[in-house]
Structure formats: structure tokens, C-alpha cells
Structure 1
Amino acid sequence: MTAPDAAAEPAAALVAALVALQRRVAAIPFDLATVEQADRRQLRDRVAGDLAGHIARIRDIDAPLLVVLGGVTGAGKSTFLNTMVGRDVVATGPVRPTTYAPTLVCHPTDADWFTSDRVMAELSRVETDSDVRDVGPTGAAVLRLLRSGTLPPGLALVDAPDVDSVASANRELADQLLDAADLWLWFTTGGKYADEDSMRYLRRARTRRTSLAVVLTLVHRIDLPEVRADFIGKLADEGLPDARLFTIHVTAIRAGRLPVGVGDELRSWLRRLADPEARRAHRNQTLQGGLDAVPDDIGQLIDAVGDELHQARRLMADVDHAYNRAEEDFAASLADGMPLRGEVVDRWDRFVGGSRVLKLTEAATGQARAWIRGLLANAGIGDERRLEQQVRVEVAGTVTATASQLSDLAATTVVDAWSATPAGRSLTAREPGLGHRSSGFDERITGAVRDWQQHVATLVASVGAERRSQARVVSGVVSLAATSAILLAMAHAGITGAEAGIAAAAGAANQGLLVKLLGEANLRKLVSDARTDLLQRFNDLLADERRRFIAVVAEVAPDPGHLDELADAGEALVAVRGG
């Protein structure tokens, strides 16, 4: 998979593939507030920055070599940079941290390479020739640029914050700078060279095949042979047997610099890196190692996006479960009967069963026709008319209350389920109103039930118009008494589509009236149609309620297309490299 040399690769195609991949990576939002959100955004930013660095190395293969002085606290990075420049340009001393804003030093003729955002684009530039004693933590997002004729053209040195700094922002900045480096100049001490913080970074350099040199400092002369040998052994154990190792023994620091003659071997080696062939070799090693690491990086991002999609779908599953259950419960309430007020049901049963309605309906004589018409169809007078209206109001109120309660229960169920995950808690915190039905639900359900009652009346009228004998005679009754009887029975009695019957709770008299007025077959169809219509109206309203949750998840859920786009862009890079 590894190409022998960057120059041998089709540079234009390689850059195009990297640019496309970098764009895909940078576009991943990771907006879902998972436990891993911060780490995933950090991974995204690192990979996007790495890809930008690879693009810059290919486009500018002859640019000055960017050497980042990284390492542990107190190892002497700033002191060595001052020594290379020949004056005190960065702070040194016992107070930690000494480095907040990283300083880049280069020859004046090379400055244009670093004043733009070609590399380390996330850091703003500040050019200064003064010392840095007054720069504090607020300078963490700033790259200080210093031009110095004491460095050879073709070489740029960056003093990075400590990787084990007490300030987390400094540690993150150190990682960014090391990722941008063409070569790591790693500083560690006689007391820390075997520490996990130090070895972890050296493993990272090995894994990514980053060009690397190591500087071991603060070792007493008498201990130097033993400590050096031990460190070489540990480097070999970590797969770095060929790492270039320099040592600087314990010595007095004057004016922030090493004494004359101390560290000369390292300084001479760095100056030789300014040679075009040398810097090409180191840059190409780092480039190829970085490119080889890209598929693994993209794989991690794909896994992260996939997991975020899974978590978003789990949140949606919570919504579906709660609102599907609400639909089922509403249907069950129609089958089992809603809690209508007993006095209304009793009055209606007495009216239907205790009066002459059924007897006269059964007889269907001329006298019956006149009596029924006078008893039930008179729209202006009578307790019966008021009772019919009371039944409609009672049914409407009960159905509306049941629907509202179930909508509230569904919303509460979702919020309770979401509270078990950081992502869900974040969404409910952003939208505190999600825990109950929406503000307009009551008005919408009231209108829906009113429209449903009118629909039932229309169904009853259409059935009555088709009936012969008794039903034709009492067609005026159908739109009033029969409609009320059906509404009451559906809400309280539990009519089932299979039986088209009315449970005993509503009274046999009510059932008998409906059968006599409409016919059993017609009643079966009418009840089924009315039930289906009411369920659909309720489910439509629940769909609006459900969409509130869908919308908040959609705002933060990743685009499923990102997975394919990332995979395709990663495969395109591999193909360009001949893998």
C-alpha cells in the first residue's frame, strides 16, 4: 500500500483525493450529545488537520522543514530554542507552564511559508521580535512568528507546550502542533524518559512512522552512560531502535540558554536538515506514514458516525414505542369502554328501554311512525332532545379527555426513556416542553372529535336513507337518536367490528334500538366505519405530536449518507495510491 516516494505518485490526483476526503471529514457534525462527543469531535478535527497537512506537504515538497520541539515538562525545549536563536526569545524558568503561545522561528526569507494558513490553519499569527514574558494563557490560540537570521533557510522550529502540561488547552495545542510537524524533536528527561506519558507519544510516532529524533536531558554526567543505554533499550522495545538520540547533561542555564559547547551536536544536525534533500527525505517519511494511517483514521470515524446513527435510531425507537402504544391504548379504550358519567348513561338507557320507543319501532304502524317522529325528531322541544345533546357533549368530552391523557402519557414515556442517555437528556433540556402534549393539541382534538361526530351523523343518515319499512319511516329519527345511541355505545359499550354488538354496559335496549332502526348488517358496517374514522383522526393528531420528537432528533442526528461518502472518499484515496 505504501508508495516508494511521494514524487512518484500522481500528485494532482492524490491531492484531489485528499481534498475530497478532508472535506467529507470536516463536514461531520457530531452534534448528538453522546458520552463520546468530545472525543469524536477531537478525532474529526485531528484527522481533518492531518489531511490538510498531507495536502500541504505534497503541494509544497520543497517548503522549509517544520520541526516541532515537543515533550514533557521541564525538559528544556524553550531553553534549546533560545540557544539555537542566540537570544532569549521564549520564556524559561521553574514556574509551569512556561509556554502558552507556541513560537515558530524561521529565517526571514522563509516567513511567507508560515504567515498564511498553509499549515496550522487553526492558529492565528502574531509576528513579534520581542520576548514573551507578558504572554499568558489567552495566547493559547496564537502562533507567534519570529524571523531570525541565525537559523538557516529551509528550517523552521516550533516551541510547543508540554504534552503533560497542567493546562488541558496546552496539552491539546501540543498535540495539534505535533500532528503538523514534518519532524518531531522529542525532549524528555532522565527522570521521565520511561514514564507512560512520554512513551505513549513515542509509540504514536512509531505507529505513524513520523520522522523522529529524541533528546534526553537533565542527566548527570556520571549517570549518562547507564541512563542512555537503558533508554536505547526501551526505544528498541517500543519498535524504535533506529531513532536518533541526543543527550544533554545537567548544566547551568545562563540567560535562558545552554552554555557554549553544550548541545552542539544537536544544533549541527538540525542545521544540516535545511539541505533540500534532507528535508525532502524527512518530509516524505512523515507524509507516507501519515497517508498509511488514513484508512484506520477513516475507519474510526465511520465507526463513530455509525454508532451515533445507532443511538439516534434508538431515540427514535423510544418515540415509536410510546406513540404506537398510545394508538393501541386508544383503540383498546374504544373496545373496553371509556369512563362516561353514569347518570348520563342511565338516563339514556331509561329513555330508550323504559319508553315506548322499541315497542313502537318494532310495530312500525302509522301510530308508531307519528309517535317516534314526535318523540325524537322534534328539534325544538322535549327532554329527549336535550338528552340527545347531552349524550353528544358527554361523549365528545370523554373522547377528548382520553386522547389528551394518552398524548401526555406518550410524551412523558419518551422523555423518561430519553433521560437514561446523555443524548436524550440533552434533547429534553433543549426542548423542555417535550414532556407533555403540545399547546395546540387540545384545540385540535376538540375539532377532530366534533368533525367525527358529524361524520357519524352523516353515516347514519346515509344508512337510514337506504333502509326500507321502519327505517324509512323514522329517517328523521336516525340523524338524532340513532347517532346519539351509536356515539354512546362506541364510547362506553365497546362495540366490536366482528360482532357489531353492544356490550351489556350500554344496555340491551340501546342495542335493540340501533338494530331496529338500522338493521344488523348496516349497524356492523357503520360501527366499523365510525371506529376506523375516529382512530385515524386520533392517529393523525398523534403523528403531529410524534413529529416534535422526530424534529429534535433530526437536528442532531448524522446524515446516513456520511457513512457512504466517507467510505467512498477513503477508498478513492487508497485507489490513487495504488493500494
Structure 2
Amino acid sequence: MRAAVEQSALPIGTAGADEARRDRVELLNQLDDYVLPRLRSLDAPLLCVVGGSTGAGKSTLVSSIVGEVVSRAGVLRPTTRASVLIHHPQDARWFADNRILPGLARLTGGVGADEDPGQLRLVASDHIPAGLALLDAPDIDSVVEANRDLARQLLSAADLWLFVTTAVRYADAVPWSLLQQATERGTSVAVVLNRVPVDAMEEVRADLAQMLMDQGLGQSPIFAVLESRLDEHGLLPYTEVSRMRSWLTSLAADAHARSTVIRRTLTGAIDSLSGRASTLADATQEQADAADGLGSTVAVAYQHAHDEVAEGMSDGSLLRGEVLARWQEFVGTGEWFRQLDAGVGKLRDKVSAILRGRGQGVPTAELGEALHTGVAALIASHGEAAALAVARQWRTRPGGAELLAADPGLAGVSTDFDSRVQRLVREWQGEVLELVRSEAGGRRTTARFLAFGVNGIAVMLMLITFSATAGLTGAEVGIAGGSAVVAQRLLEAIFGDQAVRSLSAKARRRLLDHVDDLYAHERRRYDDALRGLSVDPDSADRLRAAVNAVKDAR
């Protein structure tokens, strides 16, 4: 389960992702800091974490329980910098290494001015019984975020939480939210009501006991400490902490009692793992779904672009305007359309006579350039539309806006898109030329072939590639002035019906293949961005499998 939690990632800003990230860190910390080390070492000393609100007097209380100053106290906040762990000298081996709290660097010796929350200061003292360790944690409501986070982490590492509050702050919301969490996770809790005025002791203690009862912590011991003057060492009077000290000492001395506390907390922590890991699994599934949604948006946009290009290649729209004007120059408007008016069927018989001698003066370059421009515009416009569609939809989807902000170039086509389109069309036109050369074979010396030459025939093949079916009927003569019909009949006169259909199909397929490659290149930018999120689609399944494995093992 620990491995599955660590491998889970929540990079996308889905609803609840921030809370899920915090829960993931807390779950991982509790596995590392408490559950796994405690399972491996059930006989290790009981760790009592002393935690509470700012100004509750935790450090003074810890030093007073031990009987010597072991943790710094003061009026400035926050006073606790590094966490302080006090243990009996013979228990040093349990805490010197990374068995628990592996993320905290170890310090030894006196209090230093440069301590920080990333450190754990170890203090060995003969005044604390073997089998017990006290950990003075930072304030749970500290003004320093790192202190608050560490306090929560340390509380999750506790066999026993000694919750310290005061007569003034015992009902504050922050500590009670943590007490509720402790209840849910089965942590053993004892409560210290500190700095209680004599005349308020009975009323405040009774109210606190009722609150604990309502919280499900009615069995938790309550220790009340009167508001007292500190001695010359800054410690509370012994009478105020003697009951608490005796309780902790007897707990350390009684192996059975100590084991009961440890096992109760450990069992509660393991019980909580299933629900917390399952919740994390749901959150990681949302991440995978969000990533799939972003990816699907890209796929749909570029599939639509492909379909639009395919439609534009067959609806006759490319055979109008400049292309039509150049085509009419190419064939000689009057004579060709008089032949069409007389009947398309007569065209084949007269094509050789009309074309003979015209081949060298045919303006193929202008027609080819007009086709080039039209095809490039068709491909570029739909590629740009796809990029804009992706950007528009990503801005409304979890994670999409962040990806666009990280790489603004994703909001449009790639920087070399236009040059790639131009190169694509030129390459395709070259391939069409090769198709004609290959198909021509021995026909290159025929009158029909010589009338237009390889370039002219290639241009006509391109022209009929953009007709509705690459095999128009007489009813479709009206499309773009019948230009595709004329080109088709000319090529049929040279190659025959079947060869023309095959050539036009190959030319069309090759152009669409090039378009697919171009759009795939554009899509990879988005795919790379999504891969950079490191969303693991199998993460949720691994977490759920781990939950079931833990249940089965128990």
C-alpha cells in the first residue's frame, strides 16, 4: 500500500485535488512514520507526542514532567523550532536512526538558535523511564505553515497523543478538528487542561469532559493543571504534574498496559488506511479521467480537421475561383465547353485532334500553383481551427488552463506549421507527377500524351482528385463549370477509365496520409504536455488492490 500511495500523483487541479494532495501526504507520512515502523518493532518504546495550541504551555509541561529543562519555552511565537524527543539513555537506539520520522534530521545536545522544523533534537535523560519517549511538537495552529504541517505529521506518528489546552482555549476549532481525526484513526488520547484558575476548575473540567464524550473520547484521561507560578528553573510545581508523571511512569513500567495502548492505536491506524487509500484511489481516478478528457478533446479536434479536409477535397470547392480561371486558360474555354454542350460522349473521339500541337503552350504552372494555394489553404485553415478548438476547450477543463499557461504555444499551431503545409503540398504534387510517369509507360509518345505532357496530365489528375467521387457523371457537370468532367475525360482518353479511377484514388489517399502525418505532428505537442503531467491510469487500480490485500492479510 505504501508503494501504491507513493506512486499516485495528483497534478491536475480537479475539484478536491488540493485536499486529496494533503491527504496523500498525511497518509504517506503515517505509513512511514508510524504504521510500518511500529509493525516492525512492536516492542519499541511508547512514543507520547505532546501537542496543542499556541501558548498552551507544552514545552514547559514537558520539561516539568521530565524534571529538567529539555525544551525551550518563551513568550514569543512560535517558540518550538525543532521538535524535541526525550528518551531514556538505554532507548537511544530506537530513535537515533530513521526507524521513525525518517524525513527529520537528527540533532543532539543543547538547544541551538538555528533549529528548524526539518530537524529532530534528541535528548537523553535519566529522569524519564525506559520504554517511554516524550516528543514536544510544534503548535498545531502555529503562524508558521511548516510548523503546522509538522505538528500534524508528528501527531500521526504517536502511539499516544497528550493533547494540551488551556481554560481559555479548550473549545477552539483547530484542536478539535485534530481530535476528531484522532478519533477516526483510533489514536489513543490523553488531555491536559493547563493553566486553569482555581475558581473555574470544576466548571471548565466538566465542560471539557462532556465535549470529549460527544467526540467519542469519553475514556480519555483528563489531567488538570492549576494556573501556577513557575520555579526558578521555569518548571511547574511538582504537585501539579505528579499525577500525570505517575500515570506515564506506570504506563512505561507495565508492559501489558503499554502494549495495549500501542496495539489500540496501531489497530486504529490500520483500520483507517482502507478508507483513506480508497478515497485517494477515487481522487487518482478523477485525475486519469481528467487527463483522458483532455486527450479526447485533442483527438476529436484533429479528427474533425481530417474529416473537413477530406470533405473539402471532394465537394468541388477547390475547383472554383482561381483554379477554375487557370483551368479555362489551360484548355481553351470556348472550344471545350462547346464540346460539353454538344455532349460529353463526343469528347473522347475528338480529343486528339483538338489537343494536337497545343502541348508546348499549355500554362500548366499557373494551374498547378493555383491548386497548390487552394490545397494549402484548406489544410492550414482546418489545422488552425483544430488548435483553436483544443485551446478553447482546455481552458474549461481541469488541468487544461494550467497546461496552456505553461506552454502558450499550445493555444495555436506550431511555429513551423505553415512551412510544413507548403512542403507537404509540394511533396504531394511531386508524388502525383511520379504516379503519372509510372502509369504512362509506353504511352509517352502518343499524340494524346504529347498534347499535354507529364506536367499537364499530373495537374489534371490533381484536379479530378478534388471532385466529388473521382468519377463524375453527366449530372455533375455543373460543378465548377464542368472542369473536373473535362479533366476526367481527357485522362480517360489517355489511360482508360479504370486507370484514371485508380490514379485518382492513390493521389487522394496519399494527400490524406500526408495530412494525417501533419496533424499527428501537431497533436504530439498536446500529447507530450499530457505525458508531462505524469498521470498514471493504473494508479487507482493499484491502490484498490492494495486495500484488498491489506484486508485479506488481516
Question: Normalising by structure 1, what TM-score?
Answer: 0.85
My pick for the range that moved more, 206-215 or 452-461, is: 452-461
Task: Look up the SS of the partner of 1:143 in the other structure.
Answer: strand
Letter in 1 for 2:347: E
- Cα pair 1:72 1:162 within 8 Å, conserved: yes
Which residue, 285, 293, 299 being the options, matches 1:320? 299
Alpha-carbon offset, residue 542 of structure 1: 0.6
Question: In structure 1, how many angstroms separate the alpha carbons of the residues matched to 2:477 and 2:193?
Answer: 91
Alignment deviations for residues 369-414 of structure 1 (CA, whole Å, 9 cap, x no partner): 47624212x3xxx3x1xx2112112212332233223222222221
Which residue, 425, 428, 442 being the options, matches 2:404? 428
Which residue, 182, 185, 188 being the options, matches 2:165? 188
Alpha-carbon spacing, 1:340–1:370, altered in 2? closer, same or farther (3 Å): closer
Equivalent in the alignment of 1:14: none
Equivalent in the alignment of 1:78: 59
Which residue, 185, 191, 194 being the options, matches 1:217? 194
Alpha-carbon spacing, 1:498–1:88, altered in 2? closer, same or farther (3 Å): farther
My pick for the range that moved more, 444-453 or 231-240, is: 444-453
Question: In structure 2, how many angstroms separate the alpha carbons of the residues matched to 1:439 and 1:421?
Answer: 25
Equivalent in the alignment of 1:565: 542
- Cα pair 2:347 2:489 within 8 Å, conserved: no
Alpha-carbon spacing, 1:371–1:496, altered in 2? closer, same or farther (3 Å): closer
Answer yes or no: is 1:266 the counterpart of 2:251.
no
Answer yes or no: is 1:241 the counterpart of 2:218.
yes
Alpha-carbon offset, residue 456 of structure 1: 3.1
Task: Look up the SS of the partner of 1:257 in the other structure.
Answer: coil
Equivalent in the alignment of 1:285: 264
My pick for the range that moved more, 31-40 or 557-566, is: 31-40
Report sequence identity in percent. Answer: 35
Task: Look up the SS of the partner of 1:273 in the other structure.
Answer: helix
Q: How does 1:411-426 map to 2 (within 5 A)?
A: 411-421=387-397, 423-426=399-402
Q: How does 1:68-467 map to 2 (within 5 A)?
A: 68-128=49-109, 130-132=110-112, 134-135=113-114, 139-254=116-231, 255-275=233-253, 276-337=255-316, 342=321, 345-354=324-333, 356=335, 362=347, 364=349, 369=352, 372-376=355-359, 378=360, 382=361, 384=362, 387-421=363-397, 423-460=399-436
Letter in 2 for 1:263: V
Question: In structure 1, how many angstroms separate the alpha carbons of the residues matched to 2:4 and 2:25?
Answer: 12
- Cα pair 1:474 1:517 within 8 Å, conserved: no
Equivalent in the alignment of 2:485: 511
Alpha-carbon offset, residue 228 of structure 1: 1.1
Answer yes or no: is 1:23 the counterpart of 2:3.
yes
Alignment deviations for residues 527-564 of structure 1 (CA, whole Å, 9 cap, x no partner): 44433332222122111211221121122142222222
Task: Look up the SS of the partner of 1:99 in the other structure.
Answer: coil
Task: Look up the SS of the partner of 1:374 in the other structure.
Answer: coil
Equivalent in the alignment of 2:460: 485
- Cα pair 2:107 2:121 within 8 Å, conserved: yes
Question: In structure 2, how many angstroms separate the alpha carbons of the residues matched to 1:342 and 1:282?
Answer: 88
- Cα pair 2:309 2:379 within 8 Å, conserved: yes
Alpha-carbon spacing, 1:500–1:318, altered in 2? closer, same or farther (3 Å): farther
Question: In structure 2, how many angstroms separate the alpha carbons of the residues matched to 1:572 and 1:189?
Answer: 43
Letter in 1 for 2:28: A
Question: In structure 2, how many angstroms separate the alpha carbons of the residues matched to 1:399 and 1:92?
Answer: 79
Alpha-carbon offset, residue 357 of structure 1: 6.0
Alpha-carbon spacing, 1:355–1:471, altered in 2? closer, same or farther (3 Å): farther
- Cα pair 1:353 1:510 within 8 Å, conserved: no
Alignment deviations for residues 487-526 of structure 1 (CA, whole Å, 9 cap, x no partner): 34555xx534574676645322552342244166655554
Alignment deviations for residues 439-485 of structure 1 (CA, whole Å, 9 cap, x no partner): 44344433332232234345556666799xx9964133363334323
Q: How does 1:29-48 map to 2 (within 5 A)?
A: 29-34=9-14, 36-48=16-28
My pick for the range that moved more, 163-172 or 420-429, is: 420-429
Alpha-carbon offset, residue 486 of structure 1: 3.9
Question: In structure 1, how many angstroms separate the alpha carbons of the residues matched to 2:455 and 2:264?
Answer: 90
Letter in 2 for 1:404: A
Letter in 2 for 1:69: V
Question: In structure 2, how many angstroms separate the alpha carbons of the residues matched to 1:274 and 1:342?
Answer: 95
Alpha-carbon spacing, 1:513–1:539, altered in 2? closer, same or farther (3 Å): closer
Alpha-carbon spacing, 1:466–1:316, altered in 2? closer, same or farther (3 Å): farther
Alpha-carbon offset, residue 218 of structure 1: 2.0
Alpha-carbon offset, residue 263 of structure 1: 1.7
Alpha-carbon spacing, 1:532–1:220, altered in 2? closer, same or farther (3 Å): same
Alpha-carbon offset, residue 355 of structure 1: 5.8
Question: In structure 2, how many angstroms separate the alpha carbons of the residues matched to 1:374 and 1:36?
Answer: 78
Unaligned ranges ≥5, structure 2: 341-345
Equivalent in the alignment of 1:474: 448
- Cα pair 2:460 2:491 within 8 Å, conserved: no
Letter in 2 for 1:374: G
Alpha-carbon spacing, 1:259–1:340, altered in 2? closer, same or farther (3 Å): farther
Question: In structure 2, how many angstroms separate the alpha carbons of the residues matched to 1:516 and 1:421?
Answer: 53
Alignment RMSD (CA, Å)? 2.9
- Cα pair 1:214 1:246 within 8 Å, conserved: yes
Question: In structure 2, how many angstroms separate the alpha carbons of the residues matched to 1:284 and 1:35?
Answer: 36
Question: In structure 2, how many angstroms separate the alpha carbons of the residues matched to 1:167 and 1:373?
Answer: 93
Alpha-carbon offset, residue 54 of structure 1: 1.6
- Cα pair 2:463 2:484 within 8 Å, conserved: no
Alpha-carbon spacing, 1:266–1:515, altered in 2? closer, same or farther (3 Å): same
Question: In structure 1, how many angstroms separate the alpha carbons of the residues matched to 2:146 and 2:471?
Answer: 70
Corresponding residue pairs, total: 540
Question: In structure 2, how many angstroms separate the alpha carbons of the residues matched to 1:480 and 1:58?
Answer: 82
Question: In structure 2, how many angstroms separate the alpha carbons of the residues matched to 1:92 and 1:165?
Answer: 14
Task: Look up the SS of the partner of 2:168 in the other structure.
Answer: coil
Question: In structure 2, how many angstroms separate the alpha carbons of the residues matched to 1:266 and 1:289?
Answer: 24
Unaligned ranges ≥5, structure 1: 1-20
Task: Look up the SS of the partner of 1:330 in the other structure.
Answer: helix
Alignment deviations for residues 173-219 of structure 1 (CA, whole Å, 9 cap, x no partner): 10000001111001111122222222222222222111111111122
Question: In structure 2, how many angstroms separate the alpha carbons of the residues matched to 1:184 and 1:327?
Answer: 64
Task: Look up the SS of the partner of 2:122 in the other structure.
Answer: strand
Alignment deviations for residues 92-146 of structure 1 (CA, whole Å, 9 cap, x no partner): 2332221122111111221221111110111111112x235x246xx01111111
Letter in 2 for 1:215: V
- Cα pair 2:330 2:367 within 8 Å, conserved: no
Equivalent in the alignment of 1:18: none
Task: Look up the SS of the partner of 2:238 in the other structure.
Answer: coil
Question: In structure 2, how many angstroms separate the alpha carbons of the residues matched to 1:162 and 1:498?
Answer: 82
Alpha-carbon offset, residue 291 of structure 1: 1.0
Equivalent in the alignment of 1:51: 31
Question: Normalising by structure 2, what TM-score?
Answer: 0.89
Alpha-carbon spacing, 1:466–1:357, altered in 2? closer, same or farther (3 Å): farther
Question: In structure 2, how many angstroms separate the alpha carbons of the residues matched to 1:497 and 1:548?
Answer: 35
